[in-house]
Structure 1
Amino acid sequence: MRTDLLGYSVWNRTEGLDAPFAQDESTALTYREFSQLVAAYARILAGHGVGERDVVAVQLSNRVEFLVAVMAAWSLRAVATPVNPVLAPAELEHQLGDSTTLVVVTESPDAIRALTVSPTVLDVAECPTTGDSVPTATFTPQDTALLVYTSGSTGRPKGVELTHANLEHMTRALAEHVDARPDEHCLLVLPLFHVNAICVSFLLPASVGGRLTLLRRFRPETFLDAIEEHRPTYFSAVPAIFATLADTPGAENRDFSCLRRAICGAAPVSRELLDRVTGVLGIPVVEGYGLTEGTCASTCNPPGGPIKAGTVGVPLPGISVKVVDQDGGELPVGHAGEVMISGPTVMKGYLGMPEATADTIEDGWLHTGDVGKFDADGYLTLVDRIKDMIIRGGENLYPKEIENALATHPAVLECAVVGAPHQTYGEIPVAYVVTYANTEVTEDELLEAARERITKIKLPAAIHFVDELPRNPVGKIDKPSLRRVAAVS
Structure 2
Amino acid sequence: MNISQLLLNSAQARPNHPVIVFKEQRISYQELATKVKQKAVGFRQYGIQNNYHVGLMMGNKPEYIVTYFALLSVGAIVVPINPTFKENEITHILNDSEAVALIVDEIGLTEVQKAEKGFSSVNMIFSLQDAAPYVSWHDVSGDAEDYFIEQKNKDDYAQIIYTSGTTGKPKGALITHGNLEWMTQTSVNMLELSSEDRVLVVLPLFHAYAKLQGLLNSVITGSTIYLEERFIPNIILDRIAKEEITIFLGVPTMYTMFVNLPQINELDFSQLRVAGCGGASLPVEILEKVNKAMGVDIGEGYGQTESTVMISCFPPNSERVHGSVGYPLPGIELKVIDPNGKEVPAGEVGEIIFKGPNAMKGYYKKKQETRETIKDGWIYTGDLGKQDERGLLYIVDRKKDMIIRGGYNVYPREVEEVLYGHPDVVECAVVGESDPTFGEEIAAYVVVKQEKTPDDIITYCKEKLAHYKVPRKIYFMEELPKTTTGKILKTPLKNR
Query: TM-score, length-normalised on structure 2?
Result: 0.93
CA RMSD of aligned residues (A): 1.8
Asked if 2 retains the 8 angstrom alpha-carbon contact of 1:38 and 1:135, the reply is no
Aligned twin of 1:412:
425
Superposed CA deviations along residues 318-357 of structure 1, whole A, max 9, x for unmatched, are 1122111011111110000111121111111111111111
Asked if 2 retains the 8 angstrom alpha-carbon contact of 1:45 and 1:103, the reply is no
Aligned twin of 2:351:
338
Q: Percent identity?
A: 36
Distance 1:92 1:222 in 2: 31
Of the three residues 137, 148, 156, the one matched with 1:127 is 137
SS of alignment partner, residue 305 of structure 1 = coil
Aligned twin of 2:133:
none
Gaps of 5+ in 1: none
Q: Does 1:386 align with 2:383?
A: no
Distance 2:65 2:150 in 1: 15
Instruction: Give the letter for the 1:484 counterpart.
Output: N
- Quote how far apart the aligned CAs of 1:200 are: 0.6
Distance 2:148 2:269 in 1: 38
Distance 2:232 2:457 in 1: 30
Aligned twin of 1:239:
252
Distance 1:111 1:392, change over 3 A: closer
Of the three residues 69, 75, 78, the one matched with 2:76 is 78
- Quote how far apart the aligned CAs of 1:435 are: 2.6
- Quote how far apart the aligned CAs of 1:80 are: 0.9
Distance 2:13 2:246 in 1: 22
- Quote how far apart the aligned CAs of 1:301 are: 1.6
Distance 1:229 1:103, change over 3 A: farther
Q: Does 1:31 align with 2:42?
A: no
Asked if 1 retains the 8 angstrom alpha-carbon contact of 2:48 and 2:74, the reply is yes
Superposed CA deviations along residues 435-454 of structure 1, whole A, max 9, x for unmatched, are 34xx3333222222222211
Instruction: Give the letter for the 1:459 counterpart.
Output: V
Of the three residues 443, 450, 453, the one matched with 2:461 is 450
Q: Does 1:199 align with 2:212?
A: yes
- Quote how far apart the aligned CAs of 1:9 are: 2.3
Where do 1:55-204 residues align within 5 Å?
Answer: 55-108=53-106, 109=109, 111-114=111-114, 115-116=116-117, 117=119, 118-125=122-129, 126-128=136-138, 132-133=144-145, 135-204=148-217
Distance 1:262 1:473 in 2: 49
Of the three residues 199, 210, 224, the one matched with 1:211 is 224
- Quote how far apart the aligned CAs of 1:403 are: 0.5
- Quote how far apart the aligned CAs of 1:182 are: 2.8
Instruction: Give the letter for the 2:128 counterpart.
Output: V
Asked if 2 retains the 8 angstrom alpha-carbon contact of 1:408 and 1:449, the reply is no
- Quote how far apart the aligned CAs of 1:212 are: 0.9
Superposed CA deviations along residues 343-385 of structure 1, whole A, max 9, x for unmatched, are 1111111111111111111111111111111111111111111
SS of alignment partner, residue 159 of structure 1 = strand
Instruction: Give the letter for the 2:430 counterpart.
Output: V
- More moved, 422-431 vs 91-100: 91-100
Superposed CA deviations along residues 240-259 of structure 1, whole A, max 9, x for unmatched, are 00001111111121111111
Aligned twin of 2:382:
369
Aligned twin of 1:461:
472
Superposed CA deviations along residues 31-79 of structure 1, whole A, max 9, x for unmatched, are 1111111111112211221111111221111111111111111111111
- Quote how far apart the aligned CAs of 1:111 are: 4.0
Instruction: Give the letter for the 2:474 counterpart.
Output: I
Aligned twin of 1:484:
495
Distance 1:353 1:48 in 2: 30
Distance 1:128 1:190, change over 3 A: same
Asked if 2 retains the 8 angstrom alpha-carbon contact of 1:11 and 1:135, the reply is no
Instruction: Give the letter for the 2:458 counterpart.
Output: L
- Quote how far apart the aligned CAs of 1:473 are: 5.6
- Quote how far apart the aligned CAs of 1:311 are: 0.7
- Aligned residues between the structures: 480
Distance 1:169 1:76, change over 3 A: same
Instruction: Give the letter for the 1:25 counterpart.
Output: K
Asked if 2 retains the 8 angstrom alpha-carbon contact of 1:285 and 1:303, the reply is no
Aligned twin of 1:10:
7
Superposed CA deviations along residues 164-207 of structure 1, whole A, max 9, x for unmatched, are 11111111121121122232221001011100000111111211
- Quote how far apart the aligned CAs of 1:475 are: 4.2
- More moved, 274-283 vs 177-186: 177-186
Asked if 2 retains the 8 angstrom alpha-carbon contact of 1:301 and 1:308, the reply is no
- Quote how far apart the aligned CAs of 1:12 are: 2.9
Where do 1:213-228 residues align within 5 Å?
Answer: 213-228=226-241
- Quote how far apart the aligned CAs of 1:265 are: 1.2
- More moved, 221-230 vs 105-114: 105-114
Distance 2:128 2:423 in 1: 40
Distance 1:477 1:366 in 2: 30
- Quote how far apart the aligned CAs of 1:16 are: 1.1
Asked if 1 retains the 8 angstrom alpha-carbon contact of 2:86 and 2:465, the reply is yes
Distance 1:151 1:26, change over 3 A: farther
Superposed CA deviations along residues 96-146 of structure 1, whole A, max 9, x for unmatched, are 222222222221345423321244222225434997456424222112111
- Quote how far apart the aligned CAs of 1:225 are: 2.5
Distance 1:105 1:26, change over 3 A: farther
Where do 1:285-364 residues align within 5 Å?
Answer: 285-364=298-377
Distance 1:106 1:74 in 2: 17
SS of alignment partner, residue 301 of structure 2 = strand
Asked if 2 retains the 8 angstrom alpha-carbon contact of 1:246 and 1:276, the reply is yes
Q: Does 1:434 align with 2:444?
A: no
Instruction: Give the letter for the 1:51 counterpart.
Output: Q
Asked if 1 retains the 8 angstrom alpha-carbon contact of 2:164 and 2:171, the reply is yes
